[in-house]
Structure 1
Amino acid sequence: MAGFVGRWLSDALRLGLPLALALLAMQVPAVAHGYAAALLQIAEDARRDIEQRKASARRFYRGAGEADEAVIAALQAVEPANAQALAASVERARALRAAHDRIEAAPPLLRPVTALVDAAEDPAGGDKWAVLRTAFDTHVPQVVLSAAAAVYGIAGLVAGSFVAELLVSAFGAVFGPGRRGRGDAARFAP
């Protein structure tokens, strides 16, 4: 009976773990897409805020032109703190938009890798990691059939099969031969 349960558990592990990892890996492209979409949304929101601040500066200071740099230069003379804040906002919006553009320009299979590298190389000190965490937290798992999801799913299936086989082999090495060896020795002893 113990042999039957052991075989059943090892078969269940060999089947279940690869399927679970395949489904988990299939979510990677969707999370990367959510991250890129969130970057774009935040960049567009920041750009709207910048345009409102520029319009306000143009109303009060005649020397402020249309370009970001012209408005910042006009503000620098009279309100250096506002000029510095506006310059930081402009740079942040540009960086977020550039990150989105880099991810979208990458081939579909490499977008998750590009997104992860982009978040890891964040010079702003955590803005992109926060966006990535939010994209991950708000992601609703689903099975989307795309080429990228299929490739990641197959990779998860292979990795899951390998890990399951390692676990079953390790479990068999620890509990299997020692018991069989003692039992066989006792059975064949005179």
Structure 2
Amino acid sequence: PISANFLLPEWVKSHWPSYEEGCKLGGRPADSANWRVARSIFVTENDDKLAKRYGHSSEGPYHFYFKQLTRKLVGGGRSNLFKLDQNEPDENITPERMTKELVFAGTVNDVVDQILAFRDKVGDFGTLLYPCHDWQDPALGRKSMQLMAEQVMPRVNAAIAKEKKVAPVAVAA
């Protein structure tokens, strides 16, 4: 199974029981190593202002992505995907809010912390998918992916191994 990058952590967490039920019906064990979870991610070496501007502000590609997505989904009657309280007005669902809630952006240490906090919230999963919609500036996009592979994921996997004594999370772009 794959959980989409545009879902709130609470909805991602709700996928595990459905996966377990499907595995049970199919006569096979549920294995968290087979669960893939996508998140929008932007990593900088040490520039928190750049991370906020590119990852969360209206100047960055993530804002554009979530602007398109919220327009289509909210306009198509699927605003429930972006709400914990279904009585919340649709007008509250904005690209600004979605990028702040759904994009992991920051320095290497910031993104490590964000991934681990997300994992604590949703549970163990096997692969973190990195959807590439960050190529407004190709050099920044490449650097983000490089930092993700060379610094973020080794730290995430070390923390998981230390705390949980489980297999490390794979990353796929």
Q: Same fold (TM over 0.5)?
A: no
TM-score, normalisation: structure 1: 0.26
The answer to which structure has the higher strand fraction is 2
Determine which structure has greater relative contact order: mean sequence separation of CA pairs < 8 Å that are 6+ residues apart, divided by chain length.
Answer: 1
The answer to which structure has the higher helix fraction is 1
TM-score, normalisation: structure 2: 0.28
